[in-house]
Every structure is written in structure tokens, then in C-alpha cells.
């Protein structure tokens, strides 16, 4: 008997017989209740403790400070426990049930877990939760972790949308559906080597059978009104989960930009250009999604995720008025540019996954993915020049016709298992990308003349073959997770006009290390390291010029190289409430979009290139406090340093270092305004002292916002009101001034708005659906404009 060992398995559920995903289950010594072994339940609340020696034990499950009853078991064979029940714990004060507590924060070896279920933080939208998650900085429509753009996941499925679309999605996804948020600053080897930090939203699970649906709408009043109208439906049986949704979003947006460029020669500034640029866009976007899961048996299932985004006939009206003055600021001449731009974009993707759960714990997943992306645009622009007295001088006109078609295929195998006392993850992946793009340029000043040197076709193919292994182990006070990912990349780009072929082949290793030490329940110290890369976006490789007018254009770069990053982080946590983070990141061949003014030809161009070096380091501190039962205050402070060293292409190729030392402060008050908890409010203030944008520096921004949220009819309806940027300081001036470069702009977007939202649920609306997004790193490099 002493030479044998057995397994103990079962399920963890709450008092309503609903599964509790990711609960912790412990085997304890009978004599002193010390821990013998512990495991985490899977997403369905199922657990299996392996390699248990014959003896008598106590077993208990726990989740977010709640515990099941202690149960005694005699292990002499494999034991199937059945169900461990964790009862919901509420407190009754003056006939009002209080189920909101302060958020619980856990530190794991490779991630920080922000538990928000049934807390005051869960009263807003999912976007609000992510902005309030420790370690996250919100800059406009982008969420950053350690000053890197974060990738959003829902239940380990990547949200493959543009930043603005991600924000719109999460602003309409109720935070009450969120169980926890995982902040993975240095993702382990299982994740693609390409990509930065990950924010993974884990939603509630519910195994109830039946149907639910909703109709939802938002109305936003900014400079122009805009609205969304959508519906979603979910049907679940014992074997089939079916989810479908459709959203229609017509909108009209306005953006104004005030810019100035001071052209410089040996004597100083000789020409000053000031431009007022108004941009009005109109779009009608259709988004549809179909998810289907079929369970063959308790160990085998098949899942399909498919999305379609159609944005036809999106049009932009550009109007630019430019004054050109001499060094003494006397008016020389002016010109007005009117431009019409029309876009069509279609994006379809499908993801098929087969999952097999092993008897001994762990699983095997086999995944196939396909994306078809089609984009084309036509621009017709004309500039009229006049002298200082307003007399017409000349006209210049041009027309461009551009298109891009991308196909992505990937296949992936992942295995999760145990090897002795080690948890093991390993897998293989292949990615195959084909991109075809082209642009035709015509001079329309007099008739229509094809300009061959500005027209081009570009073909790009890429294959990536990857394999990884990750090992993890927990001791009493120490947790360790380490991994290694290997990727071999082959790519080829061909420009027909330049007759150039750019072939690239490289094999790289990407190690990861996560170490956690907890000498005491009130103290923990963690360290993590990873090496990652970022490949150029497909559109950045196109050697084309996209013109705003003949004096201002964006230029691609087919010679871009991948960017490799080394990231280090040291964290200290006190009482699971005070978090202190110190981080450092070195970016080799960092890919940045830089602006250069040509002082001879009076041209401003934007080009993407590899900079010579880039460093980021800083200190983050966050702390949350329940001031009263109805008032929760969250604070986050970040002090950081960012620098980029690049070649100044219009300054005799000198090396220039752009540096920003800044700070970020976030103070948010979450308020429960009614005794029954159906009316809740939020008052938030964020401040950013400045930031780095390539060759530009951004000045300070401040955003004050208010929000109200009211549930009606026993949660069958939700009404929300949000007021953003009350101080009108969320936009800032951005400038670039060094050597012979002196230009700046102030872009004002519709950050001031009032938004009203309404959701009406029907059917078994408490049933959680299988909504998810497609997880493919290759899709991130698609054009997100």
C-alpha cells in the first residue's frame, strides 16, 4: 500500500448548485490541518488531486475568502468526491443585504488577479473595471501596462478589434458579468512571442439550461449624435451551446486639428505654416458573431467561433486651410485643400477548436484558424493656392486608389499535463500569412495622368513555426514558473515598382521566468522576466505614400525589422492591498512612427522605422480603500521614464534622443446611492503629465467624468448615464522641437459627450453565454483604422 498513490476528484459549486470555476481545493492533515496538496479547479469547477498517498485526510474548497465545510476522507483507492459546496455569505443590516466588498487582489507567480465579482467595482461597465485594475493606465482609447499597449482577452480569447471598437464593446458589456481580471505583464511561454502585456477578463459561469436574449442600445451626444443598436441570443442544452449577436452602429464623428510647422534654414525660421484641419467621417458598421460549442461527452468537445465585420462606404471629408507666413509673420500666401476619402472594409474570421480532457487531469487542444481581410480606399483631393490678397495662383489635384487583401491561416496544438510534481504546458504552432496590396496615383490637375513612380504593388508572404514548453511548481512559500518558446520566421516582400525583394529568415528563443516568494501571508515578493518581439504591421511594410495633401504624407517602409524586447519587473505586495511595482524594459529595434519636416521642399512626412534604442522604467503604486459601506476609493500612481533614440533623417542623419519623465494619477470614487443597491454612481479623475509619441512629446491631460447606473425590474433592464471630460482637458498639444525640426499640433476629438445606455433582458437572463473573441496574434497586425 505504501508504494501506491491515488487520485481525489470532484466538483466545486455554490449554494445554488452553480459551478465555481478556478476555486482552490486543499487536502489537509487531520492532526493539525496543515496543507498536504492543493489544486485549482478548471473553468467548469472540476478538480482532480493526483499522487495522493494512502491515509486519512480532511478536504476543503475555497474561493475569494469563502470556504466549504471540512470533510474527512479515507484514501485507499481513487476517490470521486461528488460536490464540495461553498455557501454564499451575506450580511443583513437593517433589512438591506450587503454583498459588495472591497476587491480582492491576488499575486501569482506569473500574473496579478483582480477579483471583482460582487464588489463595488463591478457596478459600471467592463471598460470601467479594466481602467481601475491595478497596474493599468488608460490613455485615450488605449489601455497600457507598464507603458506598453495591453491586449484584451475574454475567457482566454483575444478580442480582435481596433482600440476604439474594443472600447465600444467593453463599455456595453456589464461589469457584473466579470468574475476576475488577470494582469499578465510578462506572458508565459504559452503565449506568442509577439505581443506585450495581457488583460484577461474571466466571466461568471453558469450551467443552467435554457434561452436568454437582449436588445441593447446606446445614444451618445457629442458634437454629432451617434447610436448603436444590437441584439444577442444564447441557447443552451446539455450538449449544445449556441450564441449569436448582431450590432448596427451608424455614426458621424468630427475631429479638428490646429497645426504649425516652422521651416528652418541656416538663418533660422524662414517660413511659418499654420493649418486648421477639419475632419468629418461617416460610417455604418455591421458586426455579427456566431459561437457554437458541442459537447460529445464529459471529456471531448468542439467549439466554433466566427465573426464578420462589414463597414461599407465609410467616407471622410477633409477641409484644410493653411496660411504661409514669412519670418516676420507677414502673410505670403494661403491654400485650401478639400479631400474626399471613401473606404470599404470587410473582415471575416473563423476559429475551430477541439478539446480532449485527460482522465488524470490536463487536456489537449487542437485549433485551426482562418482570416480574410479586404480593404480598399479611394481619395480625391484638390488644393487651391492664393496670394496674400486672396488672388488665385494655381491648383494641384490628385487621386489615389489603394487596396489590400490579407489571408491568415494558423494551426496550433496545446497540451496541459503533469510530470511528477510539475505542471507542464507544451505545444506547437504554424502561421501562414499572405498579403497583397497596391496603390495607383493620378495627377488630376489637368485631366488624369498616371504617375508611375508613386504607384506600386507589394506582395508579402510570411511563415512562422513555433514550439514551447512551460514548467511550474508550487512549494509552501515559493512558486516558480519558467518556460522557453522557439520561433522560426521566414518572410518575403516584393515591390513591383522598385523591383526589390526583401527576404528575411531568423530563428529566435524567447525565455520566460516567474518567481513568487511569500514569507508571510501579509507579504509577498515576485520577480518576472521575458523576451518578446513585435513584427511590423502589414500596412507599414508597404512602400506607399498616403497623402493628406501634396505637402503632408505618410510613407511605408519595406525594410522594417522585428523589434525585440527584454522586460524585467519586481513587485512587493503588502496585505494584498498595497502594491509596489518596479519595472525596466529595453526595446531593441523598436518600431516607431516618426515625423520629419523637409526644410528644402517644405514637406512634412511620417515614416515608420526602427529606432536605435528605447528604454522604459518606472514605479507604480496602487491602493484601494472602502471609506464607508457605500463608498470605495481607488487610487493609482505611476512615475515613469521613456526614451527613444532615432536617426533624424532630415537633420543630416544625426542621432536624437527624445525623453519624457512623467507621472500618472487615477482617483476614482465608486458610490452606492440607494439602499437596495440598484442605483450606483462613479466620480473619476485621471491626470497624465505627458507622454512620448515617437518624435513627438505629448503635454498634460486631465479627465473628469461622472456616471450613474440604475437597474430596473429585478435586473431585467439597465439604464446608464455617463458624462465624460467635464473640464474639456482630455486632449493635449503634441510637439516636436529639436535641431532643425519645429512642428506641433493640437488635435481635438469628441471626448466631451453624454452617453445614455439601455439594455432589456428576456428569457433566462441570468444564464451566462459562450460569447468570446478570436485569439490570433497575427490578426493584430491588420490595419485598425
Contacts 24+ apart (CB under 8 A), 165-170: 166/141, 167/127, 167/141, 168/228, 168/249, 170/125, 170/126, 170/127, 170/130
- The number of residues making up the chain comes to 785
Averaged pLDDT for residues 146-163? 68
Give 95's pLDDT tier (boundaries 50, 70, 90). Answer: very low
The alpha carbons of the chain give a radius of gyration, in whole angstroms, of 28
Determine the Cα–Cα distance for residues 167 and 754; give it in Å rounded to an integer: 16
pLDDT of the residue at 82: 81
Q: What value does the mean pLDDT take over residues 566-584?
A: 87
Q: How much is the average pLDDT of 357-364?
A: 86
d(CA 609, CA 646): 9
Reported as a single tens digit per residue, the pLDDT across 684-715 is 898 999 888 889 999 999 999 898 888 888 77
Give the C-alpha separation, 39 to 396, whole Å. Answer: 70
Highest mean pLDDT pick, 68-82, 296-310, 541-555: 296-310
Cell of 772: 468570446
State percent of the chain over pLDDT 70.
Answer: 86
What is the reported pLDDT for 766? 46
The predicted model gives 145-158 an average pLDDT of 73
What pLDDT, on the 0 to 100 scale, is given for residue 141? 63
Per-residue pLDDT, 544: 81
Q: What is the pLDDT of residue 701?
A: 92
Do 558 and 539 form a contact (C-beta atoms < 8 A)?
no
What is the phi/psi pair of residue 170, to 5°? -75, -25
Each residue's pLDDT tens digit, 314-339: 999 999 999 999 999 999 999 999 99
- In the structure, what pLDDT confidence band is assigned to residue 98 with cuts at 50, 70 and 90? very low
* pLDDT over threshold 50, residue 601: yes
E strands, 444-551, are 449-450, 456-474, 478-495, 500-520, 523-534, 545-549
pLDDT score, position 227? 86
Does the pLDDT of residue 101 top 50, yes or no?
Answer: no
Give exposure, 404-423, as e/b (b: 16+ Cβ within 10 Å).
bebebebebebbbebeeeeb
The answer to whether residue 123 scores a pLDDT higher than 50 is no
- Asked if residue 304 lies in contact with residue 351, where contact means CB atoms within 8 angstroms, the answer is yes
Mean per-residue pLDDT for 381-400? 93
Full-model pTM? 0.74
Q: Which residue has the cell 510570411?
A: 462
pLDDT at 489: 93
3-state secondary structure 403-447: EEEEEEEEEEEEEEEEECCEEEEEEEEEEEEEEEEEEEEEECCCC
Q: What does the pLDDT look like over 426-484, one tens digit per residue? A: 999 999 999 999 999 999 999 899 998 889 999 999 999 999 999 998 888 898 999 99
**Residue 178 φ then ψ, to 5°:** -90, 130
Q: Is residue 361 classed as helix, strand or coil in its secondary structure?
A: coil
- What is the tens place of the pLDDT at every residue in 197-226? 888 888 765 444 577 788 888 888 899 998
| Among 56-65, 118-127, 298-307, the least confident range | 118-127
Three-class DSSP category at 103 = coil
pLDDT tens, position by position, 631-684: 888 788 899 999 999 999 999 999 999 999 999 998 888 888 888 878 888 898
Residue 785 is predicted with a pLDDT of: 41
Chain centroid to CA 49: how far?
35
pLDDT value of position 143: 78
Model pLDDT, residue 169: 59
What is the pLDDT averaged over residues 506-530? Answer: 90
Q: Which residue has the higher pLDDT, 1 or 185?
A: 185
Amino acid at each position: 500500500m505504501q508504494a501506491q498513490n491515488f487520485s481525489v476528484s470532484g466538483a466545486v459549486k455554490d449554494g445554488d448548485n452553480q459551478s465555481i470555476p478556478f476555486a482552490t481545493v486543499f487536502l489537509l492533515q487531520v492532526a493539525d490541518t496543515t496543507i498536504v496538496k492543493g489544486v485549482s479547479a478548471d473553468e467548469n469547477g472540476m478538480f482532480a488531486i493526483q499522487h495522493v498517498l494512502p491515509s486519512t485526510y480532511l478536504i476543503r474548497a475555497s474561493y475569494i475568502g469563502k470556504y466549504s465545510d471540512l470533510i474527512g476522507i479515507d484514501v485507499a483507492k481513487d476517490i470521486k468526491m461528488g460536490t464540495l459546496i461553498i455557501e454564499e455569505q451575506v450580511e443583513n443590516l437593517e433589512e438591506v443585504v450587503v454583498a459588495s466588498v472591497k476587491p480582492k487582489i491576488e499575486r501569482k507567480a506569473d500574473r496579478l488577479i483582480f477579483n471583482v465579482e460582487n464588489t463595488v467595482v463591478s457596478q459600471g461597465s467592463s471598460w470601467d473595471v479594466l481602467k481601475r485594475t491595478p497596474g493599468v493606465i488608460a490613455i485615450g482609447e488605449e489601455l497600457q501596462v507598464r507603458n506598453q499597449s495591453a491586449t484584451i482577452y475574454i475567457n482566454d480569447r483575444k478580442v480582435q478589434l481596433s482600440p476604439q471598437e474594443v472600447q465600444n464593446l467593453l463599455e456595453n458589456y456589464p461589469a457584473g458579468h466579470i468574475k476576475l481580471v488577470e494582469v499578465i505583464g510578462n506572458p508565459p511561454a504559452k503565449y506568442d512571442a509577439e505581443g506585450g502585456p495581457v488583460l484577461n477578463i474571466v466571466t461568471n459561469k453558469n450551467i443552467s439550461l435554457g434561452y436568454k436574449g437582449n436588445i441593447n442600445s446606446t445614444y451618445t451626444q457629442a458634437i454629432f449624435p451617434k447610436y448603436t443598436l444590437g441584439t444577442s441570443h444564447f441557447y443552451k442544452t446539455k450538449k449544445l451551446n449556441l450564441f449569436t449577436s448582431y450590432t448596427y452602429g451608424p455614426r458621424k464623428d468630427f475631429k479638428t486639428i490646429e497645426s504649425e510647422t516652422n521651416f528652418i534654414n541656416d538663418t533660422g525660421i524662414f517660413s511659418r505654416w499654420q493649418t486648421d484641419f477639419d475632419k468629418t467621417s461617416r460610417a455604418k458598421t455591421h458586426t455579427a458573431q456566431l459561437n457554437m460549442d458541442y459537447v460529445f461527452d464529459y471529456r471531448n468537445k468542439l467549439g466554433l467561433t466566427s465573426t464578420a465585420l462589414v463597414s461599407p462606404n465609410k467616407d471622410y471629408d477633409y477641409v484644410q486651410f493653411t496660411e504661409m507666413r514669412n519670418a516676420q509673420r507677414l502673410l505670403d500666401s494661403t491654400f485650401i485643400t478639400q479631400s474626399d476619402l471613401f473606404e470599404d472594409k470587410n473582415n471575416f474570421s473563423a476559429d475551430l477548436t477541439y478539446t480532449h480532457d485527460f482522465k488524470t487531469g490536463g487536456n489537449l487542444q487542437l485549433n485551426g484558424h482562418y482570416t480574410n481581410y479586404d480593404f480598399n480606399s479611394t481619395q480625391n483631393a484638390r488644393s487651391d493656392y492664393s496670394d496674400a490678397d486672396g488672388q488665385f495662383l494655381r491648383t494641384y489635384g490628385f487621386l489615389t486608389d489603394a487596396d489590400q487583401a490579407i489571408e491568415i491561416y494558423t494551426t496550433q496544438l496545446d497540451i496541459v499535463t503533469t510530470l511528477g510534481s510539475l505542471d507542464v504546458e507544451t505545444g506547437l504552432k504554424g502561421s501562414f500569412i499572405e498579403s497583397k496590396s497596391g496603390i495607383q496615383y493620378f495627377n488630376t490637375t489637368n485631366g488624369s495622368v498616371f504617375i508611375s513612380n508613386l504607384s506600386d504593388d507589394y506582395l508579402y508572404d510570411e511563415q512562422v513555426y513555433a514550439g514551447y514548453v512551460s514548467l511550474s511548481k508550487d512549494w509552501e512559500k515559493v512558486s516558480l514558473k519558467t518556460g522557453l518558446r522557439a520561433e522560426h520566421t521566414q518572410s518575403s516582400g516584393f515591390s513591383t515598382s522598385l523591383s526589390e525583394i526583401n527576404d528575411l529568415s531568423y530563428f529566435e528563443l524567447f525565455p520566460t521566468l516567474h518567481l513568487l516568494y511569500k514569507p508571510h501571508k501579509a507579504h509577498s515578493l515576485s520577480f518576472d522576466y521575458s523576451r518578446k518581439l513585435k513584427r511590423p504591421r502589414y500596412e507599414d511594410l508597404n512602400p506607399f505614400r498616403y497623402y493628406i495633401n501634396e505637402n503632408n504624407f505618410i510613407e511605408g517602409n519595406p525594410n522594417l525589422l522585428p523589434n525585440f524586447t527584454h522586460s524585467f519587473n519586481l513587485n512587493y505586495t503588502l496585505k494584498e492591498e498595497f502594491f509596489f511595482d518596479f519595472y525596466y524594459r529595453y526595446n531593441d529595434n523598436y518600431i516607431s512612427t516618426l515625423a520629419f519636416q523637409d526644410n528644402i521642399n517644405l514637406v512634412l512626412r511620417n515614416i515608420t522605422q526602427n529606432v536605435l534604442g528605447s528604454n522604459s522604467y518606472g514605479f507604480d503604486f496602487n491602493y484601494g480603500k472602502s471609506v464607508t459601506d457605500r463608498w470605495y476609493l481607488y487610487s493609482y500612481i505611476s512615475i515613469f521614464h521613456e526614451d527613444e533614440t532615432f536617426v533624424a533623417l532630415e537633420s543630416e542623419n544625426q542621432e536624437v534622443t527624445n525623453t519624457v519623465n512623467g507621472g500618472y494619477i487615477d482617483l476614482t470614487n465608486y458610490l452606492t446611492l440607494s439602499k437596495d443597491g440598484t442605483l450606483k454612481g462613479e466620480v473619476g479623475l485621471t491626470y497624465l503629465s505627458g507622454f512620448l509619441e515617437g518624435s513627438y512629446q505629448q503635454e498634460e491631460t486631465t479627465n473628469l467624468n461622472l456616471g450613474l447606473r440604475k437597474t430596473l425590474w429585478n435586473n431585467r433592464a439597465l439604464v446608464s448615464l455617463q458624462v465624460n471630460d467635464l473640464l474639456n482637458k482630455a486632449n493635449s498639444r503634441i510637439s516636436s522641437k529639436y535641431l532643425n525640426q519645429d512642428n506641433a499640433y493640437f488635435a481635438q476629438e469628441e471626448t466631451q459627450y453624454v452617453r445614455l445606455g439601455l439594455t432589456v433582458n428576456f428569457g433566462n437572463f441570468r444564464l451566462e453565454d459562450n460569447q468570446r473573441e478570436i485569439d490570433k496574434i497575427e490578426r493584430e497586425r491588420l490595419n485598425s483604422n
